[in-house]
């Protein structure tokens, strides 16, 4: 598998000829139409062919540079070609390129929709999912839950070998509520009732894991929240359930702000089975134009997290969407519209905008002006930005990745994931 960035005068036909891949394979993997004009700067996955590939050594290449190009180690490439001296290769020599060994990870996908279409998506991508998280069961002040009508999606997951994970949140009609979680954590009856209610619901509905996504927790309740995690984890472990938390992306332990102060990375790493770090929303619907998950910022968060949480407990969040801003941006008034990768590329094609790539954020973007003279800016995810995130997972040996969210067309992501990893099933 390779990623090609479209240049001026490229066509699907000449790319198929250049890479020796059937044109239809490129079309299918990238979920595009053969008749669609390519966009300058567009990232295209060039799919791999079955069996061993070959590489003809060019002037200036070394075995090390060739191995790196194909995601192999020097030892793997030398062994495949029975080379005892890696330095002794010659220009014009044909090398066998074996398929790389895939890293095994866990993959989670949050699902908000609970209809038959959502169930069909779970079935379609089931090979690439360890967990499908039903988002969400909302807690009430008395420790009971607002139940989710998730039967069709939950049963589709179970039938497809995907572990259904139950998400509980402190979301009220106004959004995540600090008052709601404060009341539950500070009331012994509600606190105990919530643990019992969650346990009973998981047993009745066939859940295999729990995800606790409590946000905007008052700083004074930090230790109460840690104790709640200890109590609910100990209770659910009796039944063989896994427990996870979702946490805000932090750069340091004492990071100020209500999103961060009560998310104690060290305590979570010690208590629960795994932690989903929500490494997205730097660029968000109410903020100025920016990459949704800039790799430089994501890497800082993961680097800090590794000082507090074991790597085998960290699941890195990945967004399956981008945002479209109309300028000028007005704080408190402007709202960016979310869009999928293919929707972003179609918009660039329609507006005849070239796609650029920010090497610091490792994210694609483009801009254009409308008929009224207003500037538009779009940041989104593509094969290059996703591959950069997958490389980070491999570099740090993380437990896996968690997508926010399913229900957004992302065919290229699932192909790319399968080329990089073996997905663990539980």
| Angle (CA) 27 33 38, round 5° | 85
Helix, strand or coil for residue 181? helix
Cα 300 to Cα 147, 251, 253, 385: the distances in Å are 37, 6, 13, 16
| Angle (CA) 326 328 332, round 5° | 90
User: Which H or E element spans position 54?
Assistant: strand 53-56
Please say if 34 is a catalytic residue: no
Alpha-carbon distance 348 to 384, whole Å? 17
Helix, strand or coil for residue 347? helix
Cα 269 to Cα 107, 266, 364, 403: the distances in Å are 18, 5, 33, 20
- As beta bridge partners, residue 131 has 108, 163
Per-position DSSP letters for 247-287, written without gaps between them: E---SSTT--STTTTT--HHHHHHHSSEEEE----SS-TTS
Q: Parallel, antiparallel, or unpaired: how do β-strands 375-379 and 322-326 relate?
A: antiparallel
The conformation of residue 221, written as its DSSP 8-state character, comes to G
Two structure tokens written together for 356: 């650029």
Residue 275: closest CA among 252, 246, 251, 249 = 246
- As beta bridge partners, residue 104 has 422
Two structure tokens written together for 384: 């290059």
Estimate the share of the chain in helix, then strand, then coil, as percent rounded to the nearest 5: 35, 25, 40
Two structure tokens written together for 280: 């997205």
Alpha-carbon distance 310 to 397, whole Å? 10
Two structure tokens written together for 194: 């919530």
Which stretches of 308-413 are assigned E, i.e. beta strand? 314-319, 322-326, 337-339, 356-358, 363-369, 375-379, 400-404
Identify the active-site residue in 183, 215, 308, 411. Answer: 215
Q: Which residues are catalytic?
A: 215
């Amino acid at each position: 598998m390779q990623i090609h960035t479209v240049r001026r005068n490229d066509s699907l036909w000449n790319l198929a000829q250049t890479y020796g891949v059937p044109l239809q394979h490129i079309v299918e993997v990238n979920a595009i139409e053969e008749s669609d004009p390519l966009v300058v700067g567009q990232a295209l996955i060039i799919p791999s062919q079955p069996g061993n590939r070959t590489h003809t050594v060019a002037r200036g290449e070394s075995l090390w540079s060739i191995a790196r190009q194909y995601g192999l180690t020097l030892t793997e490439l030398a062994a495949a070609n029975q080379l005892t001296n890696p330095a002794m290769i010659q220009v014009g020599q044909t090398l066998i390129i074996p398929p790389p060994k895939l890293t095994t990870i866990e993959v989670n996908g949050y699902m908000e929709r609970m209809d038959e279409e959502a169930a069909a998506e779970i079935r379609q991508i089931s090979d690439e999912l360890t967990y499908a998280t039903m988002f969400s069961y909302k807690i009430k002040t008395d420790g009971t839950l607002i139940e989710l009508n998730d039967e069709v999606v939950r049963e589709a997951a179970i039938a497809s070998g995907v572990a259904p994970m139950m998400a509980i949140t402190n979301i009220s009609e106004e959004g995540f509520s600090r008052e709601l979680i404060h009341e539950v954590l500070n009331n012994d009856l509600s606190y105990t009732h919530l643990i019992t209610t969650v346990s009973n619901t998981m047993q009745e509905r066939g859940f295999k894991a729990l995800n606790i996504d409590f946000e905007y927790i008052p700083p004074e309740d930090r230790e109460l929240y840690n104790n709640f995690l200890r109590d609910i984890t100990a209770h659910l472990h009796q039944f063989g359930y896994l427990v996870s938390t979702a946490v805000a992306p932090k750069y340091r332990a004492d990071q100020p702000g209500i999103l961060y102060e009560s998310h104690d990375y060290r305590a979570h790493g010690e208590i629960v089975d795994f932690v989903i770090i929500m490494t997205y929303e730097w660029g968000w619907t109410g903020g100025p134009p920016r990459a949704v998950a800039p790799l430089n910022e994501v890497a800082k968060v993961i680097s800090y997290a590794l000082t507090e949480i074991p790597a085998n407990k960290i699941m890195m969040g990945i967004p399956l969407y981008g945002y479209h801003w109309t300028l000028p941006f007005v704080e408190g008034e402007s709202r960016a519209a979310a869009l999928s990768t293919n929707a972003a590329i179609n918009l660039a094609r329609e507006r005849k905008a070239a796609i650029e790539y920010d090497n610091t954020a490792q994210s694609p973007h483009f801009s254009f002006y409308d008929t009224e003279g207003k500037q538009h800016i779009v940041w989104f995810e593509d094969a290059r930005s996703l591959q950069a995130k997958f490389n980070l997972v491999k570099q740090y040996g993380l437990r896996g990745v968690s997508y926010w969210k399913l229900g957004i067309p992302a065919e290229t992501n699932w192909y790319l994931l399968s080329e990089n990893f073996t997905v663990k099933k539980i």
